[in-house]
Amino acid sequence: NCLYKCQILNCVVILFFFLVFFVVTAKDKSEKIFALAFVKLMRYDGTTLRDGEHDLIVYKAEAKKLEDASTYLSLPSTKIELEEKGHSATGKSMQNLGSCTISKDSFQISTLVCSTKLTQNVDLLGLLKWRSNTNLLQQNLKQLMKVDGGEVVKFLQDTLDALFNIMMENSESETFDTLVFDALVFIIGLIADRKFQHFNPVLETYIKKHFSATLAY
């Protein structure tokens, strides 16, 4: 069940622990967590973590408290998120910081998310989940033509399903006909592009095995 798996991914957090090692003798060694950084795989708008570099906030606290996820999961994880919430990087203006303090140290990661079910584009997500907010349907259809082609072809079948469902479920009105037609022309144009020609078999398979929108004939 894809929906169930996506709901699970909403809870996925990547953790980075910073430890200090104590060495008394060769046999007497210990380690202690003194700080951590984290980042959530899913963003608040339902899209995945953007590809690229991310400046993570390093939080310091007692080791036992850092092992408790409730201590930090409600806090901003990146410096951008911190600024979006109107807080300072020093943490002096932070609300509900609890037992954590923001370290002056910086920690940067680089991510690359590959998925055929989770998108990084909020406009494409809006189209794929168009039933959840039909008031934005016209906007989502228009914005589809601005989405990066590489992101669209990854979700080719889901996108085509959404477009044909929009057509079938709004057959009594011509409101979306032109927009859906333009979107289909846009997608076919993408597949015709040499850059995405290897997706042509996917389109052919869709037409032969999955296409069932009688109004589109």
pLDDT 10s digits, 107-147: 999 998 887 778 888 889 999 999 988 899 999 999 999 99
Which homologous superfamily does the CATH classification assign to the domain defined by 2-111?
Answer: C2 domain (2.60.40.150)
- Give the pLDDT score at 1: 42
Phi then psi for residue 173, to 5 deg, are: -130, 150
pLDDT 10s digits, 6-18: 555 667 889 999 9
Q: Tell me: pLDDT of 216 over 70.
A: no
Token pair belonging to 185:
């022309």
> Are the C-beta atoms of residues 34 and 60 closer than 8 Å to each other?
yes
Token pair belonging to 182:
């333009």
**How buried is 70 (Cβ within 10 angstroms: 0-12 exposed, 13-18 middle, 19+ buried)?**
exposed
Angle subtended at Cα 18 by Cα 16 and Cα 21, rounded to the nearest 5 degrees: 145
Token pair belonging to 115:
């998925």
Instruction: Give the model's confidence band at 95: pLDDT under 50 very low, under 70 low, under 90 confident, else very high.
Output: very low
Distances (CA, A) of 101 to 66, 80, 81, 94, 106: 11, 17, 16, 10, 13
pLDDT 10s digits, 173-201: 788 989 999 999 999 999 999 899 899 99
Distances (CA, A) of 217 to 63, 186, 207: 64, 18, 12
- Give the pLDDT score at 175: 85
Token pair belonging to 116:
């055929």
Instruction: Give the model's confidence band at 87: pLDDT under 50 very low, under 70 low, under 90 confident, else very high.
Output: low
- Give the pLDDT score at 159: 93
- Give the pLDDT score at 58: 93
DSSP 108-176: EEEE----SS--S-HHHHHHHTGGG-GGGHHHHHHHHTTS-HHHHHHTHHHHHHHHHHHHHHTTT--TT
Identify the three-state secondary structure at position 215: helix
What whole-number distance in Å separates Cα of residue 14 and Cα of residue 107?
13
- Residues 6 or more apart whose Cβ sits within 8 Å of residue 139: 126
Q: Tell me: pLDDT of 4 over 50.
A: no
- Residues 6 or more apart whose Cβ sits within 8 Å of residue 182: 141, 145
* Section 39-43 average pLDDT: 88
Instruction: Give the model's confidence band at 33: pLDDT under 50 very low, under 70 low, under 90 confident, else very high.
Output: confident
Instruction: Give the model's confidence band at 42: pLDDT under 50 very low, under 70 low, under 90 confident, else very high.
Output: confident
Higher-confidence position of 60 and 118 = 60
- Residues 6 or more apart whose Cβ sits within 8 Å of residue 137: 130, 166, 176
Where does CATH 2.60.40.150 sit in the chain? 2-111
